[in-house]
Amino acid sequence: MTTLPNPIRDWFDRRGWEMHPHQREMLARAGAPCQLLIAPTGGGKTLAGFLPTLAELAEDPAPGLHTLYISPLKALAADIRRNLMTPIEETGLPIRVEDRTGDTPSSRKKRQRADPPHILLTTPESLALLTSYEDAPRIFAGLQRIVVDEIHALAESKRGDQLMLALARLSALRPGLRRVGLSATVEDPAAIARLLARHPDPCEIVEADPGPAPDIAMLDTEASPPWSGGGAAYSIPAVLEEVRRHRTTLIFHNTRAQAEIFFHNLWLANEEALPIGIHHGSLDRGQREKVEAAMVRGELRAIVCTGSLDLGIDWGDVDLVIQIGAPKNVKRLVQRIGRANHRYNAPSKARLVPANRFEVVECVAALEAVRAHDLDGEPRGPGPRDVLCQHILIAACAGPFDADTLFAEMTTAGAYAGLDRGAFDSCLDFCATGGYALRAYDQWQRLKQRPDGLWQLRDPRSAPRIRQNIGTIQDTDTLKVRWRGRGGAPLGEIEEGFAASLTQGDTFLIGGQIVRYEGLRELTVEVSRDAARKPKIATFNGTKFATSTQLSQRILRMFRQENWPELPQHTADWLALQREVSRLPRPDRLLIESFPHDGREQLVVYGFAGRNAQQTLGLLLTKRMEEEGLAPMGFVSTDYATLIWGLDAVTDPRPLFDLARLEAGLETWLAGNAVMKRTFRASATIAGLIERQVGGQRKSGRQATMSSDILYDTLLKYDPDHLLMRITHEEAMRGLVDFDRIREMCARVGDRVDLLRLSRVTPLAAPLFLEPGRVPIAGRADERLLEEEVTRLLDESGLAQIEA
């Protein structure tokens, strides 16, 4: 189809619109089995995806599901529905559009299954759930097209793998199904195309005009950024001034805690009471919706937000984006910048605000990369098998299945095209029996093979439990926060670990308010209002972005300069000071600093190997230190350094950095580690070994669920080759370990390791002390500390005398 049907063309004409060239191209080639559109925000991307659907339905509005639209965000699905209703209502086309997400009432969900709309807008998780129903073939009977929005965001995570396995199922039900992907600017469109297309179908790539270059710069501030910290409070006056001068400003933060603190400080300084809201994933849904609605009505001048607003909700009049804190990743920065100004062919405007001086360097490096169109990205490996296990269970929920057919179906998903039969069979065995070396309790296996060879659930009670566990997003255990009193309004949620650290009277920030912890009641945190100005800070588990390799390299190159005219004076002075009291890291040497601080011995290793490799380095070094009796207590890593704290100082680093010994012990060292346990927990949950704790089930949680750490330890001891242990290893190697970069670092620095013993924290080390994500090391330090504490308690309580 090359032309629009009359009602739609008339609608375009009435608005004085012309189709963009990429919209025309998408329409002309709408019969292709797979299309990928790369376009900047504001380029009419969503409409480009929907025009063929509207055109086809205008010609033949037969009832039944025609197009599935998948978005990574629930809010986006709802927003797109509102936007689609405009052309549909104004053209008078009899097209039914509905959304279906976790928030949709169950009565409407039921009706949608019986009588699906023409266009259904949903998320990967809700789609996976739909495919798990026995009536899936009937629901999807008329399906023609699938539109995957923001596919660049999905492609980076297991949500994308899950979605593609669900699409494989749909293509099996509907062989002629056409796929369309909509993506922001990315470094490797072909990789996304391979992920999207039904293997081995080709995928056509349409690239829209990227539009004018953005107007980006550092934000001018009167005050200098501090030595360390993530609050960026120094920038408040300058940020407020920008808010005043623009219609609507989005103020992005990298973590929820930082967003809360910044929002709080912004309001303390907001003398004109400019309407400014806050939006992040830990806030109560009702609160978030209120902010979104106010934003759409144009009532807010600014929103302090996190990645929760990264994706394409149309906020209308945003004309400035401010990024607080280092952007960490050039591609994400470019995409965030695109949030400002949704008018096509107008430059987006963005300002960067480094939170501390190290981030000044990173921001300048990132600006250079944006100007050079030098996007970063790491290729993704083959499809993860924990997601595969989940999909085998989903298939079993939908009805008895044939293993050969399911294997053939799953290998049509791009990421799983190379899956071999043995790997599939081990996943099936895991789903069926647990796949343990010890065969016990076969009478209770989860899937059973029938005499006719088909596999089915042994116990129908499994199905709801499996459905409840669908998804690949890892929530940390969180607790709801409410105002104290009967029917107290919900505020949001905080991590269980943070809640556990609170005692009555402690204050923290949530939704921009300082609240006082009153107590825990039926797994809800009860709070009251508090007039304090300084809260105890909430440790929300905000997304941590890893600084890309490419940015790290740019920074190291900058350090080699004699002076830094491109940096603000304060930052140049700071680097010069580091050079004076210690040294600046160099690409060809490894700088290690050692100093006492906070009652502990600190060791800083400037490997510039990227967060993951630095994390691994932390693991390996602490293990080595444990062996050397140096009682390490824990470590934290950033993209450029690892900070290790412990009871004793390191005086000779050479035995610690023997690469051969590091590598030889890698496997054993990893095995007992907290990072591996964390990886195991994620994979075991996705694969269905551990069940997510949902809502009301929490109360009986202690009985129904098992500590993932204990399961890990048991498998390590009795069944170390178990599928999940292999998956955990694979995942860790892929994501968290990144040992290649340690090898690369060791090759780069050779034996040129410089240990500097200093009396205090150095300028470059200071920011490390505020990094979240500290990994504790369970070892000798525990016993030593415990001994101290026991002695103290005995002395204090007088028990020492009694028991002697």
Partner 1 sequence: MNTQGFRFHGAALRALPSGALHWPDEALLVVSDLHLGKAARLSARGGAALPPYETRETLLRLEADLSATAARRVICLGDSFDAPGLDAVLPAADREAIARLQAGRDWTWIAGNHDPAPVTLGGTQAAEAWLGPLVFRHIATDDARGEVSGHYHPKARLRLRGRLLSRACFLLDDRRLILPAYGAYTGGLRTDDRTLCALMAEDARAILTGPSPAMIPMPRG
Q: Which residues in this chain contact partner 1 in the complex, by CB under 8 A?
A: 433-434, 436, 438, 440-441, 443-446, 457-462, 465, 497, 500-501, 503, 599-600, 633-634, 688-691, 702, 704, 706-707, 710-711, 714-715, 717-719, 722, 776, 782-783, 785-790, 793-794, 797, 799, 803
Q: Look up residue 227 and give its amino acid.
A: W
- 388, 424 Cβ separation under 8 angstroms: yes
Q: In whole angstroms, give the CA distance from residue 509 to residue 515.
A: 6
What's the rounded Cα separation, in Å, for the pair 23 and 21?
5
Q: Is 277 exposed, middle or buried (0-12, 13-18, 19+ CB in 10 A)?
A: buried
Nearer to partner 1, 545 or 680 (CB): 680
**How near is the Cβ of 585 to partner 1 at its closest, in Å?**
28
Q: CA–CA distance from 183 to each of 59, 68, 148, 785 (Å)?
A: 28, 17, 9, 52
Token reading at 450: 């029938």
Smallest distance, Å, CB 696 to partner 1? 17
Query: Whole-number minimum distance, CB 419 to partner 1, in Å?
Result: 22
Closest alpha carbon to 621 in 591, 597, 588, 655:
655
Shortest distance (Å) from residue 567 CB to partner 1: 35
**Closest CB to partner 1 among residues 188, 782:** 782
Question: Closer to partner 1 at the Cβ: 659 or 711?
Answer: 711
Of 578, 216, 185, residue with least CA distance to 364 = 216
Q: What minimum distance in Å lies between the beta carbon of 714 and partner 1?
A: 5
Least distance (Å) between residue 602 CB and partner 1:
14
Strand 318-324 relative to strand 349-353: parallel, antiparallel, unpaired?
A: parallel
Toward partner 1, which CB reaches closer, 652 or 796?
A: 796
Q: How far is the CB of 501 from partner 1 (least distance, A)?
A: 7
- Dihedral angle computed from the Cα positions of residues 501, 490, 540 and 687, in that order, rounded to the nearest 10 degrees: 100
Residue nearer to partner 1 on the CB measure, 465 or 480: 465
Using CA atoms, how far apart are residues 687 and 697, in angstroms rounded to an integer?
A: 20
Provide the token pair at 286: 């009702």
Which H helix or E strand runs over 69? strand 67-70
* Dihedral angle sign, alpha carbons of residues 88, 90, 94, 100: positive
Give the integer Cα–Cα distance in Å for 783 and 788. Answer: 9
Q: Roughly what angle, to the nearest 10 degrees, separates helices 723-731 and 421-433?
A: 120
Min CB(434)–partner 1 separation in Å: 3
Q: Give least dist CB 444 to partner 1, A.
A: 4
Three-state DSSP class for 195? helix
Cα→Cα distances 729→24, 148, 714, 735, 752, Å: 47, 31, 16, 10, 31
What the block records as the tokens of 680 is 């195991």
Of 29 and 726, CB closest to partner 1: 726
Closer residue to partner 1 (CB): 458 or 484: 458
Closest distance to partner 1 from the beta carbon of 782 (Å)? 6
Strand pairing category for 642-646 and 600-606: antiparallel
CB nearer to partner 1: give 645 or 739: 645
The least CB distance from residue 643 to partner 1, in Å, is 14
Smaller CB distance to partner 1: residue 445 or 449?
445
Return the number of the residue (296 or 457) whose C-beta is nearest partner 1. 457
Task: Return the number of the residue (122 or 390) whose C-beta is nearest partner 1.
Answer: 390
What's the residue count for the chain?
804
| Distance in angstroms (rounded) separating the CA atoms of residues 671 and 698 | 30
Query: For the chain, what is the total number of helices (H) and then of strands (E)?
Result: 32, 26
State the Cα–Cα distance between residues 496 and 494, nearest whole angstrom.
Answer: 6
Question: Any idea which residue has 């609240």 for tokens?
Answer: 515
To the nearest whole angstrom, how small is the minimum distance from the Cβ of residue 429 to partner 1? 10
* Choice between 655 and 773, CB closer to partner 1: 773
